[in-house]
Amino acid sequence: MKRAIVNVQALRAGYEKKIVLQDISFSAGQGELIGIIGANGAGKSTLLRTMRGLLPRQGGRVELLGREVGTIPEKALAKQVAFLQQAVEIGFGYTSKEVVAAGRYPYLSWWQGESPEDEKIIRESMEYTDVLSLADTPLANISGGQKQRVLLAKVLAQQTPILFLDEPMTGLDVVYQEEIFRFCQRLCHQGKTILLVVHDLSAAARFCSRLLLIGRGGLLADGPPTAVLTREHLSQAYGLPVQVVHNPVTGSVEVFAGLRRNKNEQLPRVHVIAGGGCGCPVIRRLATAGFEVSVGVVAEGDSDAEAARIFAEDYVITKPFADNDADAAVANGKLVARADVTVLCSLHVGKNNLGNLDAAMKAEKLIILEDSPIDGRDYTGGRAAALYRQLLAKHGVKVMSTSAFYHEMYSLHEDEKTV
């Protein structure tokens, strides 16, 4: 086991009249890049500020390089930890270089100017974050993202083994954001230990070796990104249903937060009859617009089945090429009966999914999405087309293209009027 560079035991953190975090325990070893994640107001900044000794602890211990943080003199502490704080105010009369030079303060006495060695470190730090060309520009004259990179250079110039970075990506475009993550990785590879607050969970998953999830007044999870970024953990931390999709190709994670529903708001339930991938965008759009969505019957392995798992609250998935799955048909029928509106996607119909048209027949309110004539989508020798024509003749049925539906679907909130 590596020596703990940061060691936090049973920490209680917060403010005079308000305890924000209880019982936080973890330790960080050399070379770790640790992302601190959690909802707004969860206590991430409070944790970092307490660990750095800027906020008094309400209980527990924080050790940096084996020493209790409260016992380390300020200048010695500044040689151990550099802290990029959120929303720091800096006198705007200073040039970028002067701001970065302030990072050298733990190494200077009041009578000493910067040595050639300090100058070299300042220049290298500014090169690292690509702001050397702004050296003589006053901070007042540079953009928000450039300012953030100047502040990062200042933190680097402090040359500490530990870095605490509170949302260092604020204001950075995607290219610089990734670059900052990559240089954090490089610094950790060189032996530094970095804890950074990050809101972009996908980037956190790709770049951090470990995540600490803060929520509900404590440490909800601690471990590698795949173990921390689960539906259960994130739903707890963010206080609403969250879906998590890990992309094995890019290593990134997509997180879809459910809507914060007003308890009195009754949104229509929409059942989507899909298959062969035609339902995928319909399911996604309905769910992200806030509808309660169910899906059926779709086949395992089909992208509609994946979309159902991610976005739908209920679904019926059958084995691929399963003919006449009676149980699936019954379950699908129940979802149709429960829905306020059923949407029949523009699917291709073979003998194994003919039952989907029977299910649509039972819908009280039906919208048919028709992107091409049924005859070109009928693989049953005419049975599907015949059933489909009966559907078209049903009372109150609406027929439209899928793209037209995307515009119309918001009026489903007033479905009585529109269907």
Ligand X SMILES: Nc1ncnc2c1ncn2[C@@H]1O[C@H](COP(=O)(O)OP(=O)(O)OP(=O)(O)O)[C@@H](O)[C@H]1O
Q: What residue ranges bind ligand X (CB under 6 A)?
A: 15, 18, 20, 38, 40-46
- Gap between the Cα atoms of 141 and 143, Å rounded: 7
DSSP 351: G
Which tokens sit at 260?
A: 């914060």
Contacts of 262 (CB under 8 A, 6+ apart): none
CA distances from 323 to 73, 139, 328, 332, 383 (A): 75, 69, 11, 15, 15
In angstroms, what is the minimal distance from the CB of 395 to ligand X?
Answer: 52
- Identify which of 168, 145, 180 has the alpha carbon closest to the alpha carbon of residue 36: 168
Which tokens sit at 216?
A: 């509900």
In angstroms, what is the minimal distance from the CB of 167 to ligand X?
Answer: 7
In angstroms, what is the minimal distance from the CB of 24 to ligand X?
Answer: 12
- Gap between the Cα atoms of 183 and 206, Å rounded: 13
**Which of residues 41 and 93 has its CB atom nearest to ligand X in the complex?**
41
**Which of residues 44 and 52 has its CB atom nearest to ligand X in the complex?**
44
In angstroms, what is the minimal distance from the CB of 334 to ligand X?
Answer: 42
- Gap between the Cα atoms of 33 and 204, Å rounded: 10
**Which of residues 171 and 277 has its CB atom nearest to ligand X in the complex?**
171
Radius of gyration of the CA atoms of the chain, in A? 28
Residue where the block lists tokens 């959690």: 38
In angstroms, what is the minimal distance from the CB of 150 to ligand X?
Answer: 21
In angstroms, what is the minimal distance from the CB of 39 to ligand X?
Answer: 7
**Which of residues 18 and 417 has its CB atom nearest to ligand X in the complex?**
18
Task: Tell me phi and psi for residue 191, to 5 degrees.
Answer: 115, 0
**Which of residues 44 and 149 has its CB atom nearest to ligand X in the complex?**
44
**Which of residues 43 and 296 has its CB atom nearest to ligand X in the complex?**
43
In angstroms, what is the minimal distance from the CB of 45 to ligand X?
Answer: 3
- Gap between the Cα atoms of 32 and 184, Å rounded: 10
**Which of residues 15 and 321 has its CB atom nearest to ligand X in the complex?**
15
Contact 344, 360 (CB under 8 A): yes
**Which of residues 19 and 259 has its CB atom nearest to ligand X in the complex?**
19
Q: Which residues share a beta bridge with 326?
A: none
Q: In 65-143, where does DSSP find H-type helix?
A: 74-80, 96-101, 116-128
In angstroms, what is the minimal distance from the CB of 304 to ligand X?
Answer: 36
Give the SS3 label for residue 291.
coil
Residue where the block lists tokens 């690509």: 130
C-alpha count within 13 angstroms, C-beta hemisphere, residue 247: 12
**Which of residues 46 and 342 has its CB atom nearest to ligand X in the complex?**
46
